[in-house]
Amino acid sequence: MVKEVLWALAMFGLVAMVGRFIFGLGAATALSDQVPWGMWKVMNMIAGAALGTSGFIMAFLVVVVRMNIFKPLLRPAILVAFLGYGSSCFALLLDIGLPWRFYYPFIHWNIHSFLFEVALCVTLYFAVTAVEMIPIVTENTRWRKPGHFIHVYVLPIAIVGITLSSLHHTSLGALFLTAPERLHPIWYSPGINWQFILSAMGGGLMMLVLVTLIIGSLYQRRADMRRLGAVAALAAVPLAAYGLMKALDLAARGQWPVVFSGQWEGILFLVESFLLVAAPIAIASVGHWRLRDAGLWVASASTVAGLALNRIDVGIIGFFRSAGAVYVPSLPELCIGFGVPAAAALVFMYVVEHYEVYDAPPFLPKEEPKAIAGETFDPVSGAWGSILSNPLHHISMTAIIAAVAAVGIFSGDALKGMPLLSQRALPPLSHDPTRAVLLINGNRNDMAVAFKHDFHKTRLGGEKSCARCHHLDKPGDLYTTCNKCHADMNLDTQIFNHSHHVEKNGGNAACGKCHTDGNEPRWETNARPCYDCHARDMRMEKPAPGTQSDYNAPSYVDAMHQKCIACHREMDLSHKTNRALEECSTCHGDMRANRPQ
């Protein structure tokens, strides 16, 4: 049953991956210019790498320090590291915009970039774990030689791996040093690189415990509780160091009041810290709990969840407040986000079943009883019987069904890059049954614009194009403005800001301050002129350049002469109609009369 679920998840991920490459990041993800890093980068890459640290710690303990008690865990740890880093690199290839250029960091160096260091070290360390995997895979085949060679040089290989790993775990944290004003102050810290490596060391060891427990329960092999308890106790040390460092760091930067201020970031941080630090340390420090199944299950699962949550907080959620936007992963993102770990788990199970990973002969699954239905002559029930009873058959069937179902995860609107959000649209001023031309009173000033509705409809794709303008605006906007598509149009440029004046003069009771004559409707024609109040600002003559007045806001006259007229002239040249505004006499009624004949 486990394998079927994993295969289904992996197939969903595969389809999402194909879609991502065909349609682009916009169609596949909910990322935006405000939240440019999402689930693939943070959960699969940064958290995935963090959960793979057991490889280098076990290599240090077993190969370098020769603590033989941990020797049976070396191979599982290397396998966890290999798959953790493998799925991380894979997720990164999906996430970056131009994955075929993945080797560019090796060519174009930027030693100032922490991402450069991460890219280099992660790739190289993945290669090291792959090399360390070779003896495991080849030892019982006739390709034994390279494995033997690696066995001889295991110490230098382990040392290189340890160095690369500790370098890039600090760099993964240091990635966020560049965002001092954007990342939430609870998580931003000048020492974030040390916090990252410490929490990753504890989390990685706990991941090893969790994986061993899961494999043990899947294949009915009882794990050695004393050994796992020792690993858990070992993991508690970096976790405690991380907790202490984080507490001191928050105190030094005066952020503890923020944590308890009731901000949801503070609550999230407390949850994360409880899962990552408090719970596992409490369990690991009590021998009675540490040596039991239940205690180890809770401690390891809680640490892994806490570590993942911490990385998501730092990489995504910590940016929400400064960006003013919230990111929720899209369906294809979720499919890949769970499909990649599912595929890694399948590989893990395959390796455990076929090679000597757990210091024991391969965990071959029990022989299934032969299909009875297969012996009948009825082809239909024969096929179904074999599908239901043969694991290979019903796993592949599950995978195929999942792949077909997964095609539905791409919504048609997302493919066009325009996910729809419901939004009230203002009705046009006059209802035209044919909807050929609508009069739109966008800013409610009775100066309607003749909007060629039919023309737009045809241009944008006929009857199905309604959604391109209607009900797509973002929350908070009042209407779908022309400016949404015609970005070169003026948006809310206004010479007189009515709401500002209402607010400054005392709200709804203030109408009479400007609309003094009491006539209805109140309109700009029956309001006091601007210069009644702004006498100083609205100088009628052009001030001498360089004087103090030159730096005042443009007066109405200046604005007209310098801005509006120039633009109207320009537009007149291209349109050949509506020349009225170009003529000075439009305003200066006396001009024609005074002009010397």
* Single residue of 44, 54, 170, 255 touching another protein by CB under 8 A: 170
Please report whether residue 323 would count as binding another protein according to CB under 8 A. yes
Least distance between another protein and beta carbon 556 (Å): 11
Binding to another protein (CB under 8 A) within 138-157 occurs at 155
* Single residue of 78, 89, 472, 514 touching another protein by CB under 8 A: 472
Please report whether residue 458 would count as binding another protein according to CB under 8 A. no
Closer by beta carbon to another protein, 99 or else 529:
99
Of 446, 530, 522, the C-alpha closest to 496 is 530
Closer by beta carbon to another protein, 3 or else 168:
168
**Amino acid symbol at 476:** G
Binding to another protein (CB under 8 A) within 250-309 occurs at none
Take residue 331 and report the two structure tokens written for it: 């369906």
**Amino acid symbol at 64:** V
Residues 120, 132: Cα–Cα separation, whole Å:
18
Of 275, 206, 269, 273, the C-alpha closest to 237 is 206
Binding mask 29-68 for another protein (x = CB under 8 A): -xxxxx-xx----------------------x--xxxx--
Of 332, 325, 319, the C-alpha closest to 29 is 332
Closer by beta carbon to another protein, 59 or else 277:
59
* Single residue of 434, 548, 577, 597 touching another protein by CB under 8 A: 548
Instruction: Specify the 3-state DSSP secondary structure of 19.
Output: helix
Residues 419, 408: Cα–Cα separation, whole Å:
15
* Single residue of 7, 319, 355, 363 touching another protein by CB under 8 A: 319
Please report whether residue 422 would count as binding another protein according to CB under 8 A. no
Tell me the Ramachandran region of residue 461: left when phi exceeds 0, alpha when psi lies from -120 to 50, beta otherwise.
left
In contact, 315 and 39? CB cutoff 8 Å: no
Least distance between another protein and beta carbon 477 (Å): 8
Specify the DSSP class assigned to residue 366.
P
Least distance between another protein and beta carbon 104 (Å): 5
Of 261, 309, 254, 244, the C-alpha closest to 50 is 309
Specify the DSSP class assigned to residue 439.
E
In contact, 584 and 590? CB cutoff 8 Å: no
Least distance between another protein and beta carbon 208 (Å): 20
DSSP string, 425-486: -PPPSB--TT-SEEEE-TTSSS--EEEEHHHHHHHHTGGGGGGGTTT-SPTT--S--GGGT-
Binding mask 86-115 for another protein (x = CB under 8 A): ---------xxxxx-xx-xx-xxxxxxxxx
Least distance between another protein and beta carbon 100 (Å): 9
* Single residue of 254, 257, 476, 589 touching another protein by CB under 8 A: 476
Binding to another protein (CB under 8 A) within 507-546 occurs at none
Q: Segment contacting another protein (CB under 8 A): 46-54, 127-135, 418-426, 577-585?
A: 418-426
In contact, 96 and 156? CB cutoff 8 Å: no
Please report whether residue 358 would count as binding another protein according to CB under 8 A. no
Least distance between another protein and beta carbon 509 (Å): 21
Closer by beta carbon to another protein, 95 or else 265:
95
Take residue 560 and report the two structure tokens written for it: 């007209």
* Single residue of 2, 247, 325, 364 touching another protein by CB under 8 A: 325
Say whether the peptide bond before residue 369 is cis (omega within 30 degrees of 0).
Answer: no
In contact, 565 and 557? CB cutoff 8 Å: no
Applying CB under 8 A, what is the total number of residues that bind another protein? 99
Least distance between another protein and beta carbon 358 (Å): 25
The dihedral built from the CA positions of residue 395, 400, 403 and 407, taken in this order, carries a sign that is negative
Least distance between another protein and beta carbon 394 (Å): 36
Q: Segment contacting another protein (CB under 8 A): 1-9, 68-76, 209-217, 494-502?
A: 494-502
Of 195, 170, 303, the C-alpha closest to 245 is 195
Closer by beta carbon to another protein, 119 or else 213:
119
Closer by beta carbon to another protein, 64 or else 400:
64
Least distance between another protein and beta carbon 297 (Å): 32
* Single residue of 22, 247, 251, 360 touching another protein by CB under 8 A: 22
In contact, 180 and 195? CB cutoff 8 Å: no
Take residue 242 and report the two structure tokens written for it: 């991380």
* Single residue of 167, 214, 275, 343 touching another protein by CB under 8 A: 167
**Helix or strand (DSSP H, E) at 84:** helix 71-95
Point out which residues pair with 430 in neighbouring strands. Answer: 439
In contact, 105 and 122? CB cutoff 8 Å: no
Please report whether residue 193 would count as binding another protein according to CB under 8 A. yes
Residues 85, 40: Cα–Cα separation, whole Å:
14
In contact, 511 and 522? CB cutoff 8 Å: yes
In contact, 175 and 116? CB cutoff 8 Å: no
In contact, 318 and 183? CB cutoff 8 Å: yes
Please report whether residue 26 would count as binding another protein according to CB under 8 A. yes
Closer by beta carbon to another protein, 261 or else 497:
497
Least distance between another protein and beta carbon 405 (Å): 24
At residue 373, what are phi and psi to the nearest 5 degrees? -65, -25
Binding to another protein (CB under 8 A) within 553-592 occurs at 553-554, 559, 562-563, 566-567
Closer by beta carbon to another protein, 360 or else 491:
491
Closer by beta carbon to another protein, 167 or else 210:
167
* Neighbouring C-alpha atoms within 13 Å toward the C-beta of 417: 5
* Single residue of 401, 426, 491, 591 touching another protein by CB under 8 A: 491
Q: Position of tokens 């009644």?
A: 532
* Single residue of 220, 434, 493, 508 touching another protein by CB under 8 A: 493
Please report whether residue 117 would count as binding another protein according to CB under 8 A. yes
Closer by beta carbon to another protein, 31 or else 79:
31
Least distance between another protein and beta carbon 469 (Å): 8
Take residue 443 and report the two structure tokens written for it: 């800013």
Least distance between another protein and beta carbon 221 (Å): 31
Least distance between another protein and beta carbon 377 (Å): 51
Least distance between another protein and beta carbon 360 (Å): 26
